[in-house]
Amino acid sequence: MSGGSARSLGKGSPPPGPVPEGVIRVYSMRFCPFAERTRLVLNAKGIRHEVININLKNKPEWFFEKNPLGLVPVLENSQGQLIYESTITCEYLDEAYPGKKLLPDDPYEKARQKMIFELSSQIPTLLICFLRGQNKDDYSGQKEQLHKEFSKLEEVLTNKKTTFFGGKNISMVDYLIWPWFERLEAVELIDCVDHTPKLKLWMEAMRKDPTVSALITDAKTLRGFTDLYLQNSPDACDYGL
Amino acid sequence: MRRRLESMAEDATRALGKGSLPPGPVPEGLIRIYSMRFCPYSHRTRLILQAKGIRHEVININLKNKPEWYYTKHPFGQIPVLENSKHQLIYESVIACEYLDDAYPGRKLYPFDPYERARQKMLLELFYKILGYQNTVFFGGDCISMIDYLFWPWFERLDVYGIADCVSHTPALRLWIAAMKQDPAVCALLIDKNIFLGFLNLYFQNNPDAFDYGLSC
C-alpha cells in the first residue's frame, strides 16, 4: 500500500516503468473522489497495489497513453492492461481478485446495487457545482435539488431497513457513494442530511468502517486543496505534503 | 414478410395506457419486459432476450399516456423494466441486459475475463464520443457479443432517420452494420423502415396512436 502520500507527477516527469508482477498500479490524485472509490476497493479487498499520483493541473504527457481522456483513476496491471472510469475499475477489481466479494453473487442483488447506484448519479454533478462555487445565482435551488437526491437514498434505506445500502454489511455501492458524502462538510452542506436521518446514520457507520477511516481526509485539508485547485495552482494536488 | 409478422408476434401487441388493468403476476418459467416497440433502450434488452433464447412476454406501454399502475413498476415510468415471477423488478437498460446475462444459462454475452468485461464497459462509455473505435469486425472481437447488441439499436435507426451517410466515411462501421444484419437475433427484431417512419410521423404530432402503428389487431 505504498505511495498514497507521494508527490504527484507532472509535465516533464519520466514515465513510470512497467508494473511489477503481483502488484497492480493505480494512477490517482490524493483528493479526487472518483479515484478514492478505486482506492477504497483496493484496500477493502486487501489488494497489493502501488499508487502514482498525477498532477491534474499539470499532467505528464505520458499519462494520455494510460487514459486518452487524461483522467484518474486508471488501473495498470503487470500485463500492461489499462482500465479506467472509476466504477469500471471497481468492478474489475472485485471480479479479478479473490477474497471478500463486494458485489453480490446473486444476479438480482447485483442488479439492485447498480440500480441504487444509479439513484445517486446526480449527486457528484451537484456537489462539483458546490465545490467550484458555480451556483451563486441559484444556491437555494441547487440545495433543494440535493435534498431531493438525498431523499431518494433515504427511501432505499427506509425500505431495506438495513444500515448499509447493500444490507447489514458494507459493500460496493456504499464505497462508490461515500466519497461525495465525505466532502459535505468541506462545502458546508452537512446540514443537508438533517432531513434524512437514516442517511446520517449511514454516514456515521461508514466513518467507523476501517477501510473508510484509513482513507478519510478532514474537511480543513479538503478546503485547502479546493481553494488552490480552483485557482488552477500546480501545487494543489500536493497540498499538505 | 411472413417471417417478419411471425417474429413480431411477441411484441406486436397494443400499448397499455391510462385506465388499463394492471397485468397479473408473471408466471413461473417466464420473464416479463415492459417495453415500447420503437424504443432503442428496450430494444437492447429485447435483443438480449432473443440472443439468449429466454422465454419472455412483452407488455408495451403507451409512453404518452402511461397507466397509473406502471409507476409501481418504475418510479418514473420509464422503460425497459424486467419483472420476474418472484416480483423482482430490474430497470436501466444496461443493468437489465447484464442481469439477463448473469441470471440465465447458455451462451454468455459478456466475456468471462474480467479485463475483457471491463474493456466492453469502457467502450460503452466511449460510444457517443468515438465511432471508429474498433479494430475487429465486432466491437468485442471476432464474434458478436454484448457490446454489439448494446450499440445496435441506434445504428438500425440511422437508416430510417436518413442519416446513414454519417457512416459512409467509416468503412469498418459499415462492415459492422452488414455483419450485424446477419445475426439471427438482430434479424428477428429488425424494424420495417416504413412502419418506423409511420410511427415517427404520428409521434411528432403527439398522436397517442403512434405506439400501435402498423399493428393489424
- Say yes or no for a CB contact (<8 Å) between A118 and B103: no
B115 vs A92, A111, A118: nearest CB:
A92
How big is the CA angle at A57 (ends A51 and A59), to the nearest 5 degrees?
60
**What interface predicted TM-score (ipTM) does this complex get?**
0.91
Task: Fill in the DSSP letter of residue B82.
Answer: E
Task: Fill in the DSSP letter of residue B173.
Answer: H
Q: Distance, in angstroms, between B187 CA and closest chain A CA?
A: 28
Catalytic, B143? Answer: no
d(CA A18, CA A77): 8
Contact between A208 and A163 (Cβ < 8 Å) = no
In sequence order, the 6+-apart residues with CB closer than 8 A to the CB of B77 are B61, B63, B66, B70, B71
Cell of B91: 430497470
Question: Which H, E and C letters describe B185-198, residue by residue?
Answer: HHHHCCCCHHHHHH
Q: pTM of the prediction?
A: 0.84
Amino acid present at A149: E
Q: Mutate which of A81, A97, A154 to test chain B, going by most B C-beta atoms within 10 A? A: A81
Q: How many CB atoms lie within 10 A of CB B141?
A: 17
Task: Fill in the DSSP letter of residue A184.
Answer: T
Q: Does B114 touch chain A (CB under 8 A)?
A: yes
Residues 29-88 of A with CB under 8 A from B: 77, 79, 81, 83-85, 88
> Residues of A42-80 as b/e, b for ≥16 C-beta within 10 angstroms?
bbbbebebbbbbbbbbbbbeebeebbeeebbbbbbbeee
- B126 → chain A, closest CA residue: A69
Q: What angle, 0 to 180 degrees and rounded to 10, lies between the N-to-C axes of helices A172-182 and A86-96?
A: 140
Cell of A213: 477511516
Long-range contacts of the stretch B117-120 (C-beta < 8 A, 24+)? B117/A91, B117/A92, B117/A95, B118/A83, B118/A88, B118/A89, B118/A91, B118/A92, B119/A83, B120/B145, B120/B146, B120/B147
Per residue of chain A (241 residues), give pLDDT as tens: 344 569 999 999 999 999 999 999 999 999 999 999 999 999 999 999 999 999 999 999 999 999 988 999 999 999 999 999 999 999 999 999 998 999 999 999 999 999 999 999 999 999 998 888 877 788 888 999 999 999 999 999 999 999 999 999 999 999 999 999 999 999 999 999 999 999 999 999 999 999 999 999 999 999 999 999 999 999 999 999 9
- Regions in chain B scoring below 70 on pLDDT: 1-9, 128-135, 159-171
With beta carbons under 8 A apart, name residues in chain B contacting A110. 98-99, 102
- Say yes or no for a CB contact (<8 Å) between A110 and B99: yes
pLDDT for the residue numbered B132: 47
pLDDT for the residue numbered B167: 57
pLDDT for the residue numbered A221: 96
pLDDT for the residue numbered B6: 41
Contact between A38 and A73 (Cβ < 8 Å) = yes
B172: nearest Cα among B118, B134, B206, B211: B134
- A114 → chain B, closest CA residue: B95
